[in-house]
């Protein structure tokens, strides 16, 4: 699981790279409140160049879609701050949901994404059948004898082929 609070980037420049140098430094993004502050620190690091063209040569703990060799999304900082409010399992579920859906975390408002996530997220379960058992108990008033005859596996197959999806133990409504 990505721990966005531990995100870091190895920052060099294209000029140094083209001259055969990999000089740069690992920079912890938790030390900066926004993209502008981060970029300013990168420019200070490479103050030996008049207008350094930054090159992100490596990175860790940054979700796909938020970074490339020459770009870091402004949304990274909003997302990082919003993720602090989520518990570990919910952080992991959010990242699974983002990677599965048609959501562009680099552009969409983080608070809107979190709202959509909470609308779709139904929790963590050991299996699809475990979710369906809880679903049946919560939604249907089946007498105890009927529960013993209920085909949870078949119902799970139906629900997860139409209305829900399951990944890494997390259940989401389509």
Check whether 117 has a pLDDT greater than 80: yes
Strands of the chain (E only): list them: 8-13, 25-28, 54-60, 67-68, 71-72, 121-124, 164-167, 170-173
How confident is the model at residue 102, as a pLDDT?
Answer: 65
Nearest to 81 by CA among 14, 33, 143: 33
- Which tokens is 96 given? 């699974």
β-bridge partners, 72: 67
- C-alpha distance across the termini of the chain, in Å: 23
The predicted-structure confidence for 53-65, as pLDDT tens digits, reads as follows 999 999 999 998 8
- Which tokens is 78 given? 């909003």
The predicted-structure confidence for 63-88, as pLDDT tens digits, reads as follows 988 999 999 999 999 999 998 888 87
Rounded CA separation 16/19 (Å): 5
The predicted-structure confidence for 84-100, as pLDDT tens digits, reads as follows 888 878 999 998 998 88
Distances (CA, A) of 131 to 22, 31, 34, 98, 170: 50, 40, 39, 21, 9
Strands of 14-148 (E only): list them: 25-28, 54-60, 67-68, 71-72, 121-124
Coil vs helix vs strand at 70: coil
């Amino acid at each position: 699981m990505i721990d966005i609070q531990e995100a870091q980037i190895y920052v060099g420049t294209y000029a140094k790279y083209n001259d055969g140098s990999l000089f740069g430094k690992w920079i912890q993004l938790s030390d900066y409140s926004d993209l502008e502050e981060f970029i300013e620190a990168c420019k200070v690091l490479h103050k030996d160049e008049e207008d350094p063209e930054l090159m992100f040569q490596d990175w860790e703990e940054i979700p796909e879609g938020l970074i490339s060799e020459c770009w870091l999304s402004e949304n990274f900082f909003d997302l990082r701050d919003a993720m602090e409010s989520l518990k570990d399992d919910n952080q992991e579920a959010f990242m699974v949901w983002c990677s599965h859906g048609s959501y562009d975390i680099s552009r969409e408002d983080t608070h809107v994404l979190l709202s959509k996530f909470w609308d779709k997220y139904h929790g963590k379960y050991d299996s699809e059948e475990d979710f369906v058992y809880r679903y049946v108990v919560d939604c249907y008033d089946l007498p105890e004898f009927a529960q013993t005859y209920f085909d949870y596996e078949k119902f799970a197959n139906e629900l997860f082929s139409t209305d829900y999806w399951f990944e890494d133990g997390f259940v989401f409504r389509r």
